[in-house]
Structure 1
Amino acid sequence: MTAVLAGAPAWAQDGHLPEVEIQGPRDATIGSADSASEGAAEKESFQGRPKLRPGDIVEAVPGVVATQHSGDGKANQYFLRGFNLDHGTDFAVTVDGMPVNMPTHGHGQGFADLNFLIPDLVSGVRYRKGPYFADGGDFSLAGSASLDYVSALDAPFAEVMLGANNFRRLVAAGSRTVQDRTWLGAVELEGNNGPWNTPERLRKANLVLRYWQGSPVRGISITGMAYQSRWNSTDQIPERLVDSGELSRFGSLNTTDGGRTRRISLSGKWFDNSPEGQTQISAYAIDYRFDLFSDFTYFLNNPEQGDQFEQTDRRRVFGAQASHSRPNRIVGLDGTLSFGGQWRGDRITEVGLYNTVARERISTVRNDKVSQDLFSVYAQQLLNFSERWRGYVGLRGDMLRYEVNGREPIYGPLNSGSGHDSLASPKAGLAFTLTPAHELYLNAGVGFHSNDVRGATINVDPQSGLPADRVPALAKGRGAEIGWRFQPDESFTFTAALWQLRLNSELMYVGDAGSTEPGRASSRRGLEATMRWKVDSHWRLEADAALSRARLRGRAPEGEGNYVDNAVERVFAAGVTYTDGPLTTSLRLRYMGPRALDTLDTVRSRSTTLLNFGVRYAINKHLTLGLDVFNLAGRNGNDIEYFYASCTAGEVARGDCGGSIDGRHIHPMEPRSARVSARWTF
Structure 2
Amino acid sequence: METVTIVGNYNNSVGTSDAASQGSVTSNLIVNRPALRTGELLEFVPGMIVTQHSGDGKANQYFLRGTNLDHGTDFATYVDGMPVNMRSHAHGQGYSDLNFLLPELVQRIDYKKGTYFADEGDFASAGAAHIRLVDSLPQGIASLSLGSYGYQRAVLANSLAAVNGTLLYGLELNRNNGPWDNPEGVRKYSGLLRYSQGNHEDGFDITAMAYTNNWNSSDQIPLRAVQSGLIDRYGAIDPTDGGRSSRYSLSYALHKRNQLGQFEFDAYAVQSALELFSNFTYYLNDPVNGDQFNQSEYRRMLGFNMSQAWDKQLAGLEMQNRIGLQVRYDKLSPVGIYNTLAQQRISTIRQDEVKESSAGLYAENIIQWLPKLRTVAGVRYDAYRFDVNSSVAGDSGKVSDHIVSPKLSLIFGPWDKTEYFINYGTGFHSNDARGTTQTRLPDGGASNPVTPLVKTRGGELGVRTEIIPGLQSSLALWRLDIDSELLFVGDAGETEPSRASRRTGIEWNNHYIAAPWLLFDLDLAISRARYTQYDPVGAYIPGSLDKVASFGVTVTDIGRWYGGVQLRYFGPRPLIEDGSVRSASTTLAYARIGYKIAPRTRLTLDAFNLFNKQASDIDYYYQSRLRGETADGANDIHFHPVEPRALRLTLTHNF
- Do the structures match in fold with TM over 0.5? yes
Counterpart of 1:7 in structure 2 is none
Amino acid at match of 2:650: S
**Structure 1 residues 587 and 25, CA, compared in 2 at 3 Å: closer, same or farther?**
closer
Q: How does 1:624-635 map to 2 (within 5 A)?
A: 624-635=602-613
1:393 aligned to which of 358, 377, 384: 377
Deviations 1:609-668 (A, max 9, x none): 00000122211123211100000011001001000000112xxx3xx3251200101100
Q: Does 2:466 correspond to 1:493?
A: no
Identity, % of aligned positions: 43
Matched, 1:549 2:522: no
Q: CA 1:570–1:72 in 2, change beyond 3 Å: closer, same or farther?
A: same
2:19 corresponds to: 35
Change over 3 Å in CA distance of 1:331–1:660 after alignment to 2: farther
Distance 1:274 1:617, change over 3 A: farther
In the TM superposition, what is the alpha-carbon distance from 1:349 to its structure 2 partner?
A: 0.7
Structure 1 residue 477 corresponds to structure 2 residue 456: yes
Residues 512 and 123 of structure 1, relative CA distance in 2, 3 Å threshold: farther
Deviations 1:593-620 (A, max 9, x none): 0010000000000000000001222111
In the superposition, relative to structure 1, how do residues 25 and 67 fare at CA in structure 2: closer, same or farther (>3 Å)?
A: closer
What is aligned with 1:177?
Answer: 161
Aligned counterparts of 1:277 and 1:436: Cα–Cα separation in 2: 32
Structure 1 partner of 2:553: 576
Q: 2:441 aligns with which of 458, 461, 476?
A: 461
Give the alignment partner of residue 484 of structure 2, picking from 495, 505, 525. Answer: 505
Moved more, 294-303 or 515-524: 515-524
2:3 maps to which residue? Answer: none
Aligned-partner SS, 2:322: strand
3-state SS, counterpart of residue 328 of structure 2: strand
The offset of 1:31, in angstroms, is 2.6
Tell me what 1:12 maps to: none
Call closer, same or farther: CA 1:617–1:34 in 2, change over 3 Å.
same
Give the AA of the match of 1:643. Y
Change (3 A) 1:271 1:434: closer
Structure 1 stretches of at least 4 aligned residues deviating more than 4 Å after TM superposition: 22-26, 507-512
| Distance (Å, rounded) in 1 between the aligned partners of 2:93 and 2:533 | 25
What whole-Å deviation, never above 9, does each CA across 1:459-509 have from its counterpart, x for those lacking one? 0111x3211121111111000000010113773210010000111111469
Counterpart secondary structure, 1:385 = strand
Could you tell me which residue of structure 2 aligns to residue 667 of structure 1?
640
Opposite residue 429 of structure 2, the aligned amino acid is H
Contact 1:402 1:420 in 2 (8 A): yes
The DSSP-based 3-state class of the residue aligned with 2:394 is helix
Match of 1:350 in 2: 334
Going from structure 1 to structure 2, the CA distance change for 1:512 and 1:188 (only over 3 Å counts) comes to farther
* Equivalent position to 1:539, from 510, 513, 518: 518
8 Å Cα contact 1:389/1:433 also seen in 2: yes
Normalising by structure 1, we get a TM-score of: 0.93
* 1:642 lines up with 2:620 in the alignment: yes
Q: Is the 8 A contact 1:108 1:510 kept in 2?
A: no
Aligned partner of 2:571 in structure 1 is 593
Maintained 8 Å contact 1:326/1:336 = yes
Q: Measure, in 2, the Cα distance between the counterparts of 1:118 and 1:389.
A: 41
Instruction: Report the residue type matching 2:511 in the other structure.
Output: R
Aligned residue for 1:488, secondary structure, equals: coil
CA-CA distance at 1:176 after TM superposition? 0.3
Aligned to 1:260: 244
- The secondary structure found in structure 1 opposite 2:618 is strand
Whether the 8 Å CA contact 1:282–1:320 is kept in 2: the answer is yes
Identify if the C-alpha distance between structure 1 residues 240 and 619 changes in structure 2 by more than 3 Å, giving closer, same or farther: same
Aligned to 1:361: 345
Q: How does 1:198-213 map to 2 (within 5 A)?
A: 198-213=182-197
Aligned-partner residue type, residue 291 of structure 2: D
Q: Aligned in 2, Cα 1:624/1:507: closer, same or farther, shift over 3 Å?
A: closer
Residue 125 of structure 1: aligned partner: 109
TM-score by length of 2: 0.97
**Structure 1 counterpart of 2:538:** 561
Q: 1:587 to 1:507 in 2, by over 3 A?
A: closer
Q: Residue 168 of structure 1 corresponds to which residue in structure 2?
A: 152
Q: Contact conserved, 1:344 with 1:375, CA < 8 A, in 2? A: yes
Q: CA deviation at 1:42?
A: 1.1
Distance 1:362 1:490, change over 3 A: farther
The aligned amino acid for 2:404 is A
The residue type paired with residue 390 of structure 1 is: R
Secondary structure of 1:168's match? strand
Conservation of the 8 A alpha-carbon contact between 1:30 and 1:433 = no
Report Cα offsets for 1:138-165 as digits up to 9, x if no partner: 1000001111110000111210000011
Q: Following the alignment from structure 1 to structure 2, what is the Cα–Cα distance between the partners of residues 25 and 98? A: 25
- 1:241 maps onto 2:225 in alignment: yes
DSSP-derived class of the 1:269 partner: strand
Size of the aligned set, in residue pairs, is: 649
Counterpart position of 1:450? 430
SS in 2 for 1:323: strand
With over 3 angstroms needed to count, the CA separation of the structure-2 counterparts of 1:428 and 1:511, relative to structure 1, is: farther
Q: 1:65-104 to 2 correspondence within 5 Å?
A: 65-104=49-88
Return the offset for 1:516: 7.1
Q: Deviations over 1:13-32 (max 9, x none)?
A: xxxxxxxxx99996233233
Instruction: Indicate which of 285, 293, 303 corresponds to 1:309.
Output: 293
CA RMSD of aligned residues (A): 1.8
Q: Which residue of 2 aligns with 1:290?
A: 274
Q: Is the 8 A contact 2:518 2:555 kept in 1?
A: yes
Structure 2 runs not aligned, ≥5 long: 1-5
Q: Residues 369-401 of structure 1, C-alpha deviation per residue, up to 9 Å, x if partnerless?
A: 000101010001011011111111100000001
Q: How far off its partner does 1:274 sit?
A: 6.2
**1:373 maps to which of 357, 379, 388:** 357
Amino acid at match of 2:156: A
CA contact (8 A) 1:592 1:608 kept: yes
1:24/1:124 contact within 8 Å kept: no
Q: Using the alignment, how far apart are the partners of 1:515 and 1:46 within structure 2? A: 32
Q: CA deviation at 1:114?
A: 0.4
Q: In 2, Cα distance between the equivalents of 1:174 and 1:166?
A: 27
